[in-house]
Amino acid sequence: MGVAAAVLAASATGCGSSGAEEGGTGGSGGLRVVTTVAPITSIVAAVGGDKVDITGIVPEGTNSHTFEPKPSAAELLATADVVFVNGLRLEEPTVELARSSIKDGAEVVELGTESIPEDRYIYDFSFPKKDGKPNPHLWTDPKYAVSYARVVRDTLVRRDRANAAAYDANYEAFSDLVGRLDTAMRRAFATIPEGDRKLLTYHDAYAYFAEEYGWDVVGAIQVSDFEDPTPREVARLIDQVRSQGVPAIFGSEVFPSPVLEQIGREAGAAYVDVLRDDDLPGRPGAPEHSWAGLMRFDYATITSALGGDASALEAVDIALGAGDTAAYPQ
């Protein structure tokens, strides 16, 4: 972990910015499910299939750390049998509204909280331990995406035993896809010079991924207080990127970062401004508009920018059975 990374804040907004949270209902199934960020909506849709009505509540391209749902969102939450959230204190205002709005017999399920023990929490420059909020971005590590899907399956089976076989089959198909994606990621990453497997990003979304795949997170421009970095802090990170020979740094397609662009220009690193951490590629309903599409896009982009061969990733077929009919607010 770089020294400068510990002090940097950001003008870029990771996990998106503001937007309207209303969306229509998806699917035509029995259980009614409400979700938060788009990757979670996608994972729930992969397991629930056409047996569940799924509606996301956090618009894509929105900062899920600071997003506050309108009071009218309580009406949608009140219709849900299950509300799936990330937890780990990511969507606190939404979770608070959900817990106060759900009907008798409904439940709020924190997928992240149920997928990782506390001794595996990562605290870092964006999520310092003193604040009590661990890094919540488990879904960028495929093994945790499978854990999310397992919790979803178990919850749906418990509440809707008549469709247990469908949920089991959907979970197995998703788990198989994640396994193929993981294999492709490892093959692609092996083509990057080991010393170049470094990440400087607009948002601190890749800590668990980095731990699993042996990458070094140099830093992130946005940290917990959302303040702009001082000129001294920017200068230190420029020196760090230059001294470590970082080939490329990564910004957000949704939130261009003049700070990152300046760092890349002055440090001699390529500035790639198309990454996304919870804004899915493509349009709702398309195969690439999915958790797997997001992972394939981000990690192929990172691999290519750092001098590797992304063909193994690009070749992964990410389509899953019937199309995703969940409602994703845009």
Hey, which residues does 84 pair with through a beta bridge?
35, 109
Return the pLDDT at 277: 83
The DSSP output letter for 120 is G
Cβ atoms 250, 201 nearer than 8 A? yes
Convert the pLDDT of each residue in 276-289 to its tens digit: 888 999 999 999 99
Angle, helix 291-305 to helix 164-189, in steps of 10 degrees = 0
Q: What is the pTM of this model?
A: 0.89
Return the pLDDT at 232: 80
Convert the pLDDT of each residue in 110-145 to its tens digit: 999 999 999 999 999 889 999 999 999 999 999 999
pLDDT band, residue 323 (cuts 50/70/90): confident
* pLDDT above 50 for 73: yes
Return the pLDDT at 26: 44
Return the pLDDT at 223: 52
3-state secondary structure 219-232: EEEECCCCCCCCHH
Which is more confident, 262 or 233?
262
pLDDT band, residue 16 (cuts 50/70/90): very low
Cα(first)–Cα(last) distance of the chain, in Å? Answer: 35
Of 2-16, 102-116, 179-193, 215-229, minimum mean pLDDT range: 2-16
- Name all domains of the chain by residue range, CATH numbers in brackets: 4-13+185-314 (3.40.50.1980), 31-183 (3.40.50.1980)
Burial of 143 from C-beta contacts in 10 A (0-12 / 13-18 / 19+): middle
Q: Which two tokens stand for residue 46?
A: 């992969």
Q: Which two tokens stand for residue 93?
A: 């205002």
